Structure 1
């Protein structure tokens, strides 16, 4: 059925010459092509439209041939599932479009699917996850709604297509996708049978790769409604499959409020860390279960080593801690301590401490090994020990001693006095 009309004058992305060129190519030999999914979802809800996905009745090989004939470059990014990426260029630059052939699932195992191509739009819609994602529109903005998903979209009702248990068993990642959509649109209208299916099949999350879980989780935990959604995940026994057993939703909630107070972008890594109440053991868990990068792992290990950083530090001590930790770890440590303290998330004293990393220019230690060699100290372990001791003295002086003052301390240090 037709659900609505997106007026091109209200949706300039529809008139993008690059999009129209790709649609021209795909329809040049009588085939069908429509925009599908997220672009329509965003447009209907008045949100910015970024990536634009296209569904077509043409097979992937035919789609590539038609695009080549139109002078467009295409790449076979997922031929087994009917997906190619098409590049189109205009005066606005080059834009990529993911083009996927209509398909139906033949065999699924909870992680992967074998598909068959089709020219039936209803069959393609029936294999999609949520009704709000089973919307298509043509080049003029006419919206096609085979499964009555338009009403679900405008009410933000998150509902699986067809039988919820069947949808989840086809791909267990859909459990996290349901909660990710709820974190974006609000948990108040999660379809009850869909939620029940996720709870029933939560053991299936163990079958998923860490990479797939990470992708959904990092988008979920930064959503506008992440905290109430994660509370639902905790209450239904789903959250431990992602973040382990020791959970502190209160700390996450306070961190989210503090980020808002400081006007910080939500940080998925720091939020994940603080959702756990087991700081010293959570880093290996996150490393393995969310496939952290080396840089992410190092960041969390440095945060654990930093310990608590509070406004109880004197001004001189604050600068010393900031110097030793560096700005990123200092900020992480302040936020982590703050969200676990019985103080308001909009506390001005804590904000002052956090802001030190931006307001105090970290000085550079004025000595190098060569400075000591020039004094006749032979290269070797002693140089490193002296530099470390001199840096400690420099920090203790609140970074006030200059190069000459530090060099004058070397004789006493070498004598051990």
Structure 2
């Protein structure tokens, strides 16, 4: 049975780019509605993000109308009925209503249709199966309104069938629950995910990464991750142990410091104990080079940061840089339990806010003037001097720097005479 209600506080439906697209498509016997996440978010009174539109009009008709209105159209997925319209630099994915004619995973054959009910019933979750028309009327053909109110994430129809259509829906179930759900995951959906977990092996690394990165920063990520671990759903993804305690502690540490959630930092807390873990994750999730380097740095002897005095912490900060220092320090903090010695951990974590590392003041010319020739020898003596400068706590006085330079040259010459 279909249910409808009026969406309050949605001015973007009445004016602006969204209203213009709906007006373009709502004429001459065709209808268009905003569908999916934007409707869900509007009901939850959170930012809508991307706005997707469904229509009874065929893709060729959408393109024709856009051309006549002077609107740019891009056939981004025209074989599946999707055309992207760009209005005032804002993109809208416009998809013709569809119905499955044959179902076999992501390659299901679809036909264009005109039934809003059938189109809603082929979507993944009830809270994503809602649509809203240009007048602000929300149409619910799958029980999504009640589930939005209850913050409950349920598959539409039979969970086993929905998952078999696309095994990525296992990860989406937990990611959507982490972002919009409350309490424990829906029992029927949870058990279906466990039954189908072998299907995770069929997913591309890129698709898995996309979902896991979003899950890491969701509001209730800790609850979703704990459920995944209990159900044996992370081992096929990570290929190794998941540490829920440090993951929860990392979230608490971020919040304590007022930091924005960071997907890579949280992934490190969840799955990286040593640098080998970072390399494995980088391969399994097809991480970017920057993400791989960040995880590798976090896993490199993080335990040495526990119990540092501030002088040692300054040397670590100088060597690592602000971001690498904070991430590795927070991994050590999370693995210590998050609350253990929290005052000291907070002092160490906030060091970059109180102190900026000076630049190493000695230059190559200082050592050339002392008889060191160009080449590897010069690099070696510079490194010796820099180490001594750090050990002396970053002095900047000319006399101290002269002594450090002289000592570095003396040591280099002594070592190379042996």
TM-based fold match above 0.5: yes
- Residues 193-208 of structure 1 mapped to structure 2, 5 A cutoff: 193-208=188-203
Structure 1 distance, partners of 2:147, 2:340, is 35
Aligned position for 2:66: 67
2:276 match: secondary structure: helix
Distance 1:191 1:361, change over 3 A: closer
Query: Given the alignment of the two structures, is residue 142 of structure 1 paired with residue 137 of structure 2, yes or no?
Result: yes
SS at the partner of 1:319? Answer: helix
CA shift at 1:411, angstroms? 4.4
Report the CA distance between 1:190 and its aligned residue.
3.3
Mapped partners of 1:416, 1:15: distance in 2: 80
Which residue is 1:53 aligned to? Answer: 52
Cα separation, 2, equivalents of 1:194 and 1:394: 60
Describe the superposition over 1:222-279 as per-residue Cα deviations: whole angstroms up to 9, x where unpaired: 2221112111111111121222331211111111111111111111112112112643
Tell me, in whole angstroms, the C-alpha distance in 2 between the residues paired with 1:21 and 1:277.
Answer: 48
Structure 2 CA distance for aligned equivalents of residues 100 and 360 of structure 1: 53
What corresponds to 2:342 in structure 1? Answer: 347
Match of 2:163 in 1: 168
Over 4 Å off, 4+ runs: none
CA–CA separation in structure 1 for the residues paired with 2:252 and 2:183: 20
Cα deviation for residue 117 of structure 1 reads 1.1
Change (3 A) 1:374 1:108: farther
Secondary structure of the corresponding residue to residue 143 of structure 1: strand
Cα shift at 1:306: 4.3
Aligned pair partner of 2:410 in 391, 395, 412 = 412
Deviations 1:357-399 (A, max 9, x none): 2221111011232443355432111101111111111111111
When residues 79 and 345 of structure 1 are mapped into structure 2, their CA distance, relative to the original with a 3 A threshold, is farther
Q: Which residue of 2 aligns with 1:29?
A: 28
Residue 126 in structure 1 maps to residue 121 in structure 2: yes
Cα deviation 1:188-226 (Å, max 9, x = unaligned) = 363322222111111111101111111111111222211
Distance 1:116 1:306, change over 3 A: same
For the residue of structure 2 that corresponds to 1:408, the secondary structure is helix
1:117 aligned to 2:112?
A: yes
Q: Is the 8 A contact 1:86 1:97 kept in 2?
A: yes
Distance 2:274 2:69 in 1: 56
Distance 1:376 1:67 in 2: 74
Query: TM-score under structure 1 normalisation?
Result: 0.93
Deviations 1:78-136 (A, max 9, x none): 112211111112xxxx3211111111223444343332111111111111001111111
Q: Cα 1:183–1:342, aligned 2, differ >3 Å: closer, same or farther?
A: closer
Inter-partner Cα distance in structure 1 for 2:99 and 2:412: 78
Distance 1:388 1:204, change over 3 A: same
Classify the secondary structure of the residue corresponding to 1:409.
Answer: helix
Q: Give the CA deviation at 1:34.
A: 0.5
Residue equivalent to 1:78:
77
| 1:66–1:342 Cα change, 3 Å | closer
- Residue 279 (structure 2) aligns with: 284
Specify which of 246, 251, 255 is matched with residue 250 of structure 2: 255
- Normalization by structure 2: what TM-score? 0.93
- Contact 2:310-2:348 at 8 Å conserved across structures: no
Look up the match of 2:7.
Answer: 6
Unpaired runs of 5+ residues, structure 1, are none
Unaligned segments of structure 2, at least 5 residues:
none
Instruction: Please name the residue that 1:324 is paired with.
Output: 319
Aligned length: 411
Following superposition, the deviation at residue 171 of structure 1 comes to 0.5
Structure 1 residues 235, 189: closer, same or farther in 2, change over 3 A?
A: closer
Instruction: Give the SS at the match of 1:77.
Output: strand
